[in-house]
Amino acid sequence: MTLADETRWMDATEQAALVRAGDVHPTELVTAAVERIEQMNPTLNAVVSQWFDEALGWAADPDLPGGPLRGVPFLLKDLSTAMAGQPLSNGNRALKDAGWRPPADSTLVARYRAAGLVILGRTNTPEFGTLPVTEPEAWGPTRNPWDLSRTPGGSSGGSAAAVAAGMVPVAHASDGGGSIRIPASCCGLVGLKVSQGRTSMGPGRDESGLSVEHVVARSVRDTALLLDVSHGPGVGDTVIASPPARPYAAEIGADPGRLRIGVQSTHPLGLPLDPACAEAARTAGKLLASLGHDVDEAWPAMQADPSLPVHFTRLWATQRALAVARVEEIVGRPTTDDEVEALNRVMAEHARQSSALDLALAQAAASNFRRALHAWWAPPPAGDGWDLLVTPTVAELPPRIGEHANDPSDPMAPMRRAGRWVPFTPAFNLSGQPAISLPLHESPEGLPVGVQLVAAYGGEDALLRVAAQLEAASPWAHRQPSL
């Protein structure tokens, strides 16, 4: 058995321990990951930019940082997160053709490198991260390792496919409407959306928006360790989550206490829900009750607000217009119709035709929604006093590739299709709360089905304690795709 085979299903914590013990050199881990990527990527199309020779050079350098993840191979999502001198396309044809390379690391990338991670390339993403599937016209679709006819989800679908297939143990991801949690569910991974302001978006982005950045991983302990090396404000950040009381890794195995947990196993708007997704939430509730928690069928009434998709879409469209404007600034000219996908062109144009008052009203509605939603977790008398909410992560099994394809005659069709199967995640981008998807269930066809747990703002510690408790009670590491 080769080292590539021996390390394929090891998580980042275990791989880093091998390096610290002197059992392997960082170059050996990187070479093994490169071998796996070269073997599997032609089938999956998960990794769209590769800089293997440079990565091997960094791994061989005696000055490779001696952080807790020294030598562990890693991939960056091809969206927004800058790495000095390496290509970044945001899933867009104009940036891809321009071969744009940012001049400096983002705050987050600098922290990853300081932890000793060796970054090998970038993973596929939908253009500007707009859709919950990974099928950009610029790069083509990424396929799910569990079923090659299906999507791995999005927008962090390339990262999720790479980790689920065993190319790397963990990979960067971001989440503006479910883009960490959705692919984690589709690919059988752990996906934590952190609290707004938990990780820095600097220097090129703002923490006050919908999106946050973290990783997709195979284990809860990796999720905690990666947060330990990346959390905290950067220069100029103004939305800053309170620091944890202790390292997040210390929450693994810690007693979560007896919690009051609500379970939601129906669609918030009363629409159809795949039986496997509903069963995933109910089964998780039963498991939590068996572990000593107080569990009831209950969920925040605000999730049924029919205006939520309207406000979210208006804010989402504004971000698409900003993305197009940034592309045009980088390439130094207006983009042509064939350089921006139909959905994003229409959304950007809608935002341009909206007024500043329209945006302010959407932001005010989002703020009111956030405060009302937070009250479900707040202790009495200010709120209802729940500790955690359990929901399905998604409402359907992973859709077939092509179901969200751009249609020039109906550009918003992919967004409507997306809305039918991802009703559970966007609310917590608007609220800024932490939420984690865990691979606790599988469909009759053997596809992964994720369960989402949501905590109060700043409650990553509670999420990690309960997630680790569930991982111990119902392990998933043995479930691997046959690819």
The catalytic residue positions are: 77, 155, 179
Residue spans of alpha helices (H) in 62-196: 93-98, 107-114, 157-164, 181-187
Cα 225 from Cα 248, distance rounded (Å) = 7
**Cα torsion at 196, 95, 83, 431 (round to 10°)?**
0
> If you ran DSSP here, which 8-state letter would residue 220 be given?
H
Name the token pair of 316. 């989402």
> Minimal CA–CA distance to 341: which of 354, 324, 329?
324
- Say whether 180 sits in a helix, a strand or coil: coil
- 271 CB neighbour count, 10 Å cutoff: 12
DSSP single-letter state for residue 307? T
Per-position DSSP letters for 247-261, written without gaps between them = -GGGGTT----S-EE
**Residue whose tokens read 């959390």:** 231
Q: Which helix (H) or strand (E) holds 368?
A: helix 356-374
- Token pair listed for 86: 């390496």
Instruction: State the alpha helices, DSSP H only, in 139-203.
Output: 157-164, 181-187
Cα angle, residue 393 at apex, residues 108 and 374 outer, rounded to 5°: 75
Residue 95 vs residues 88, 90, 100, 329, 352: alpha-carbon distances, Å: 7, 7, 6, 11, 21
DSSP 106-132: -HHHHHHHHTT-EEEEEE---GGG-SS
Matching residue, tokens 């143990």:
169
Q: How many helices (H) and strands (E) does the chain have?
A: 16, 11
Collect all residues with Cβ–Cβ distance below 8 Å to 99 and sequence separation of at least 6: 87
How open is the CA angle 255-263-285, to the nearest 5 degrees?
A: 55
Residue in 217, 182, 202, 224 with CA at minimum distance from that of residue 81: 202
Task: Using DSSP, state whether 111 is helix, strand or coil.
Answer: helix
> Two tokens at 199?
């990780």
Q: Are residues 465 and 256 in contact, defined by beta-carbon separation less than 8 angstroms? A: yes
